[in-house]
Amino acid sequence: MHTLDGGHVAEAVRAVSTREYESAGDAYSRAAWSVLTEPRVGQSPFVDDERGYVGVGVQYLISSAICYRVAGCERRAAHRSTESIAVARDIQHTLSQPVQQACLDELIADCRVVGGFDGVGGAYEAAVDAYRAAGDSVESSQTVATTPLFEAAAAPIKQVARSLADGEIAVKWEDLHGPDPAAPGEFLAHRPAYKRQRFPSLLERTIDAGFLAAPRGTTEYATGHHRCPDCGSTDVNWIAESVLCLRCSRPTDPQ
């Protein structure tokens, strides 16, 4: 997404790969604060932006809280989730498009899931209603859904889900979105509706397993140049300056 994360996302991914999840949460927090200070070179976080780069900061706050939950740091996760909600609500005063404000409602619901807070169902329903109300203002739902703000809102559930799917893509585009992009309100409202059904259980299973996968980057299967020293897989995930095993997210060795 090319936001100014200060190199902290790469640090977070390295910590995830070595199962140092509290340290990963700290690094994601620093990445968030960096983006929220200056999302892009010369860009104020308080200036309206049709692509919503500042929302990537909320993604990293949520990722931080997820790492804390997996690490067993419940209080830190709750604090970070509270912060995430406050930041997302503040950004709603910056981003003017109704569909962007609906996406921030979606992120706020995600924050409630990750923080283990009450009111998850109502928060997702508010996002569904906001998307439906914003539908008439959207020219291309597919274009909107590929902006940094919307990709940021999809990233946490995707990372959690692949933790339970042997590193594969477990939440696909067609899972998150409705079948008809020509009906923008319903097409985008499917995102919070799907998350309401799936995100809480996916997160709880990930916490119970005590394992969070790294985000998925560029992948290659059955390589002849890398083998995981932990699980033996030759499938590789290149992500944020790390070369990781696609399956177990451990650092993988060149052969």
Confidence of residue 141 (pLDDT cuts 50, 70, 90): very high
Please give the pLDDT value at position 154.
98
Residues in Cβ contact with 184 at an 8 Å cutoff, skipping those fewer than 6 apart? 99, 134, 135, 136, 138, 140, 141, 144
Please give the pLDDT value at position 176.
98
* pLDDT of 5 above 90: yes
Contact assessment for residue 102 and residue 185, using Cβ atoms and an 8 Å cutoff: no
- Identity (one letter) of the amino acid at 26? D
Return the closest-CA partner of residue 116 out of 69, 60, 72: 69
pLDDT tens by residue, 200-234: 999 999 999 999 999 999 999 999 999 999 999 99
The domain locations on the chain are: 8-215, 217-255
Count CB neighbours of 33 within 10 A. Answer: 18
DSSP class of residue 139 equals S
Q: Give strand pairing partners of 239.
A: 242
pLDDT tens by residue, 35-81: 999 999 999 999 999 999 999 999 999 999 999 999 999 999 999 99
| Sign of the dihedral through C-alpha 154, 157, 160, 165 | negative
Please give the pLDDT value at position 88.
98
Burial class (CB in 10 A: 0-12, 13-18, 19+), 93: exposed
Please give the pLDDT value at position 32.
98
CA angle 74, 75, 77 (to 5 degrees): 65
* pLDDT of 255 above 90: no
Contact assessment for residue 247 and residue 235, using Cβ atoms and an 8 Å cutoff: yes
Q: Taking residues 146-172, what's their average pLDDT?
A: 97
Please give the pLDDT value at position 253.
86
* Mean pLDDT score across all residues of the chain: 97
* pLDDT of 1 above 70: no
pLDDT tens by residue, 68-118: 999 999 999 999 999 999 999 999 999 999 999 999 999 999 999 999 999
Residue 88, CA distances (Å) to 29, 202, 241 in order? 15, 23, 28
